[in-house]
Amino acid sequence: MLTSIHSKEWVRLATWLRERREAEGLTMRELAARLEVPHSFVGKVEQRERRLDVVEYLIYCEALNVSPLDGMSVARPTG
């Protein structure tokens, strides 16, 4: 079993998060400021070098003004 950081589901979710950031017109630095984290945090998430735990994911989605449920449907395993 692959760790989730290497799974196709995480690739889809990380891609979705990046696309939502771009749709909001935010740079990585601007999103990092909203999250109160270093900009490298956002870069590592988007480059799939770092996973988000559930609480981090919820906060990340809130900062992007998106529903966490939308992202979960994108990342859902496809059997």
- What per-residue confidence (pLDDT) applies to 6? 75
Closest C-alpha among 69, 71, 55 to residue 21: 71
- HSE, CB side, 13 Å, CA atoms: give it for residue 43: 4
User: Does 66 fall in a domain?
Assistant: yes
User: Does 12 fall in a domain?
Assistant: yes
- What per-residue confidence (pLDDT) applies to 3? 61
pTM of the model: 0.90
Domain tally, the chain: 1
User: Does 34 fall in a domain?
Assistant: yes
User: Does 21 fall in a domain?
Assistant: yes
User: Does 14 fall in a domain?
Assistant: yes
| Distance from C-alpha of 76 to C-alpha of 79, rounded to nearest angstrom | 9
**10-residue averages of pLDDT along the chain (79 residues):** 74 97 98 98 96 97 97 85
**Which CATH number covers residue 39?**
1.10.260.40
- What per-residue confidence (pLDDT) applies to 71? 96
- What per-residue confidence (pLDDT) applies to 79? 61
